[in-house]
Amino acid sequence: MLKNYFKIAIAVLRRRKFFTFISLFGISLTLTILIVLTSFLDHLLSSSYPDVNRDRELYVNVISLQSSKEFYTSNGPVSFHFIDQYLSKLKTPAKLAFSTIFIPSNAYVNNKKVAINISCTNDQFWEVLQFDFLEGRPYTKQQITNAEKVAVISADTKRNYFGDVPSVVGKYIEADNVQYRVIGVVKSVPVTNLFCYADMYLPYTLSKADLHSKDLRGTFGAILLANSKSDIPKIKAEYAAMVSKLVSNDKAFDRIYSFPDNYLTVFTRMAFGQGRKEGTGTFYTILGLVAFLFMLLPTLNLVNVNTSRIMERSSEIGVRKSFGASSKTLVYQFIVENMILTFIGGAISVILSLIILYFFNNSNLIANAHLSLNLTVLTYSMLACLFFGLLSGVYPAWRMSRMHVVAALKAQ
């Protein structure tokens, strides 16, 4: 049966080539845009170099101080004091990595300015995050304690500052009039990976932040690594108990909120959450509405095209009904035909997406970012095809099934 439906669908598509082109163009263009956007979201949110353990990591990047009397809120990254006195005392996490928000600085090579973004980290930063060292090694805990002026630089920084040389370990790099000895070179990280990105990494004891401040807010972010995913709820419970005992040194604030979140929730809480709300539900709702509205216009156009096609085939419908074909059979046939059309458009969109992603990855529009069509992206793409096909095919098929035999035969 499906084989016959497929043959009929191909014959119908070949009969009116212009309508077929319009249909396939609308389907493939819409799905291509959705696939590329899905690939970009997958790149942002899925585990990727060097943050490959996101399924068992929790991120701490914001602490919120609130005043219940004046309804005043102050949000910001956490301080070294908060990390040193509270986060480091948690017993459930296996490791604690922390770093400053990257700070832009300038270096000059042959009178040419080279922008270098600097992040200061602890030693476990290199254990939690799986950096690919092209040369050398990370700095040690002892070097951090001694505040040695050592640096790990990215491959891009090596090329921009030193040029095409085989090795730079042991050489000195100068940024903001301070010289640092290079002890390691790592594969560059995309700027979209906010917890890991920098051009140069330094021991946190070289940070310009006030490490002796008792304020809970500062310029640091932290990653808590669990032994396994099953420990995530335990870490959250222990963290919540710790936060409930915090007291701000600023007496104007009497409420403190901070949460260890997975990677997505870090951003949804900042964008859509308030206080204890994660904001993930709002994020998925908005994302779904945007995708639905984006698909709605081409779907309505496809509905009109499909309706016109069905009206042209009224004599075929009349003949088949007069020979005993049920409305259910005809509806099923036309939905299957529309699904075939949609999946042909989906196949074209996959090819177009591969071409677009190839040029995007080679354009270096986002440095070191690599978008791909993996299993997750393709799965969502197929679901979009299915949704598109059903949405644009059900109404025309239903309208066709309501046609009377006599009216269908007279229409030709």
3-state secondary structure the chain: CHHHHHHHHHHHHHHCHHHHHHHHHHHHHHHHHHHHHHHHHHHHHCCECCECCHHHEEEECCEEEEECCCCEEEEECECHHHHHHCHHHCCCCCEEEEEECCEEEEEEECCEEEEEEEEEECCCHHHHCCCCEEEECCCCHHHHHCCCCEEEEEHHHHHHHHCCCCCCCCCEEEECCEEEEEEEEECCCCCCCCCCCCCEEEEHHHCCCCCCCCCCECCEEEEEECCCHHHHHHHHHHHHHHHHCCCCCCCCCCEEEECCECHHHHHHHHHCCCCCCCCHHHHHHHHHHHHHHHHHHHHHHHHHHHHHHHHHCHHHHHHHHHCCCCHHHHHHHHHHHHHHHHHHHHHHHHHHHHHHHHHHHHHCCCCCCCCCCCHHHHHHHHHHHHHHHHHHHHHHHHHHHCCCHHHHHHCC
Are 100 and 208 part of one and the same domain? yes
Last residue of a domain, one of 232, 253, 274: 253
Are 195 and 326 part of one and the same domain? no
Residue 102 counted as domain residue: yes
Q: Which residue has the higher pLDDT, 99 or 109?
A: 99
Mean pLDDT over all residues of the chain?
84
Are 78 and 141 part of one and the same domain? yes
Are 7 and 126 part of one and the same domain? no
Are 245 and 298 part of one and the same domain? no
Q: Which residue has the higher pLDDT, 350 or 225?
A: 225
At 76 the pLDDT is 85
Are 234 and 309 part of one and the same domain? no
Where in the sequence is the domain holding 294, given as residue range(s)? 2-46+282-410
Which of 15-29, 139-153, 227-241, 323-337 has the least mean pLDDT?
323-337
Q: Which of the four pLDDT bands, split at 50, 70 and 90, describes residue 408?
A: very low
Are 220 and 179 part of one and the same domain? yes
Residue 406 counted as domain residue: yes
pLDDT at 157 over 50: yes
Residue 7 counted as domain residue: yes
Are 119 and 24 part of one and the same domain? no
Residue 301 counted as domain residue: yes
At 332 the pLDDT is 73
At 97 the pLDDT is 97
Which of 264-268, 275-279, 407-411 has the least mean pLDDT?
407-411
Q: Total domain count for the chain?
A: 2
Are 37 and 84 part of one and the same domain? no
What does the pLDDT average to over 22-46? 84
pLDDT at 46 over 90: no
Residue 229 counted as domain residue: yes
At 59 the pLDDT is 97
Last residue of a domain, one of 233, 253, 273: 253
At 382 the pLDDT is 74
> pTM of the full predicted structure?
0.83
Are 229 and 338 part of one and the same domain? no
pLDDT at 407 over 60: no
Residue 258 counted as domain residue: no
Q: Which residue has the higher pLDDT, 82 or 319?
A: 82
Quick: pLDDT tens for 299-358.
Answer: 776 776 666 666 666 666 666 666 565 666 667 777 777 777 778 888 888 899 999 999
Residue 218 counted as domain residue: yes
Q: Which residue has the higher pLDDT, 326 or 139?
A: 139
Are 106 and 183 part of one and the same domain? yes
What does the pLDDT average to over 269-298? 80
Residue 56 counted as domain residue: no
Percent of the chain predicted with pLDDT > 70: 80
Q: Which residue has the higher pLDDT, 107 or 145?
A: 145
pLDDT at 251 over 70: yes
At 328 the pLDDT is 67
Are 42 and 77 part of one and the same domain? no
Last residue of a domain, one of 253, 272, 299: 253
Quick: pLDDT tens for 355-379.
Answer: 999 999 888 888 888 888 877 777 8
